Chains A and B, each alone.
Chain A
C-alpha cells in the first residue's frame, strides 16, 4: 500500500526527516511512535501534501503511484486520509455539507458520479450511530464549539464516510478521556479492512492497547530507528525513548 524510501523533508531551514523509510502492506495497521520533535507530524503532513513541507530527496508511493507528484486534494481522491491532531473549525459550514462536498469532489476526481442525497444521509446516520454521535451535531458548523473528544470523533466519522485506502491517524488519542478514547478506538477498529491500511502516529502506548498494530516503528531524529511487533510498544512504555535518542 504505502512505500516510503529515504525520505528527506525540510521545513523552512530545518531538515526534519532525514532518510525515513517505511512500508505498510495492504490491510495492515502500523504504529509510528517517537519522542516529541522526532518528526511525527512532519511525516503525516508530508504524506498528506501540505505546502511548506519540502521534499528534498526520496520517494513515497501509494499502490505504486508517486504520491509526491500530487497535490493535497488529488492525494485525498487517491485515498489518503489524515485524521488531524488538531481538527479545524469551519464556521457556518455544517459537517454534513462539508463531508458531502468532499466526498463528491473525490468521486468526481475518480470519474465516479455524485452520491445521492438519500444514500448519503442514510450512510451518515449509520456512521454517526456507530460513533455514538448526536446526529444534530452534524448539522452545526463543523467542529465549532466541539470538545476535544467530539472533534476526534468527527475525524473518525469523516474517515468512515470517505472510506480511504490509507488512513493516517495523527495523535488521535491526544485530548481524549478514557471513555472517548474507547469510542474512537472502536470506531477505528471497525474500519480495519483487508483493502485498507492505517498508520497510527502516537507518542504514548495507551492508544495501542485499543488499536492493536501489526507492526510498531520507532521514529527518532527524522528516521525509523527500530521496528518490531506490538511488544515493541510495551518496551518503549517501560524504557522510554532514551536509548533511541542516543542512537540517532
Chain B
C-alpha cells in the first residue's frame, strides 16, 4: 500500500465541477508535480488533500482514511499546505524570526535544542540567516516564498502541499526553493505535492500529473511524458494543414507529416491534448490598418526614469528605448518594477526623475499627453474590463470613449471578433469567459482606435499554454501587418524567446538589455532563456 492514496476524488462548487474522479498514489520521498492551465482543478485538488474543503471519494494517508475536513483534523499535524500567492500566509509587520516563533507556537512545538538546530538549518537553507530581524513586508518576493516555505516546514510535516510556490518569483530564488524541497524530501522522507506554471520546473519532479478540465489527462516521469508526444512533434511547416497546431518553431500533428521530427518539450503535451480533443487554434488573421500613421523611428525613449515610493526605489534610473515595429519584452520577477515603469510611461504615476520621449514628443506634464492618447493602446494586468457589461457592450463603450463613429466602430468590432476568434462570446459577460478569451478581447479593446504603440502589462499570466501561444501569434501578426511597436511585461522568462529584444529588471534596476540573438550568442551553453537570466541573477549577487 502506498503512503498516500487518492481514490476517486471529486470536488464540486455548487454546479461547477472543479475536480472529477481523480485517483493517484504517492510514496514518501516523492515529489509529485501538478501542471495544467488555470482552472484545470490543481488548486481544488490540493485544498481537498489538505483537508480544507469538502470532497467526494476518499483519501488515505498512511492507513488513515478521510473524506471530509472534520475527519482530516487527526492528521493535520503531519500535513502542511502553502496556498497560492506570494507571501499570502505571512504577516507584513512581523519579522522573520517572529514568524518562525509564531508558527512554532501555533503548532505547539517544543523549543528544545533539537528544534533550535532544525530551525537554524532551515534558516541557513533559505539564506535568511542574515535577515532574521527584517519585517516580512520588506522582503523580496523570492525571500517571502522561502520564508513561507520554512514556516510550513517547521513541524516536520510528512505531507507537504505547495500551490504554485514559484509563480512570479525570480529564477534564482526559484532554484533555491527547489534545492530546499530536494533536501527536505531526502532527509525527512516527505511526500511533496507541488503545482507550477513553469514547464522547466516540471522536469525536476519525480512524477508529473497533467490536469485538464478537472481530470488527469497524462501522468508519468518527465521522460515518459516527452516520449508520449515525440511522434506528434515536427519542425515548423510553412503552410501547415488544417488539423495541426504550429507554435514556436514546431508543428504538432496527430497524422504523420512528411517532415522531420523535433525534440518536444512539456508544452507539447497541451497542444497534442488539444488536437486529440479536436481543438485547433483558430487561425488569426489581421488585416491592414484602416488609418495610415507615420511612425517615428524611436517610439519611446526613457532616460534615467526613477520612481520612489517613500524610501523604496521602485525604478532606479532606467534607460529603455522602444524602436518602431519592435516587440520589446520587459522581464522580471514580481516586484521588479515592471508595472511601475509602464504606469509611468502612461502617466498613471508621476515620474520622480528622468526624461521621457513618446512619439517624438518630450513629456513634461499631462497636457503633453492629450494628443498621444489616441495613439497608445494599453492592456492592464488582469484585463481591466467592465464585468457588468457584455463583451459587445464593453467594446462599444470603449469605441465611444475613443469617439469612433458608430458604423466604423461596429464594423471594427465585428472584424476583430472574427479575426481574434471570440465572435461566439459577444453577448456573454467577462466573468463567464475563460481567461484566454478575455485576454483576446481586451486586446481588441486596445486596438479599436488603431494605435501605433501597444503597452501590455502581464497579459499572459494565468493564461493556459494554448491561449498563450495564440496570443503571441496575434502580437507577431500585428507587428508585421501594422508595423506597431509593442512593449510587453511578463514574469515568464521563457517568453523572452518570442520578443525581438528583452530588458530584464531586478529590484528596480535594469540588468540586461539586448536582442534575443545576441543573448544566445553571448551564452552559447545556455539551453533556454531561463539559464541565460540565471547567470545574470547570480552575477549580480
To the question of whether A and B form a pair in one complex, the answer is: no
**Interface set of B (CB-CB < 8 Å, partner A):** none
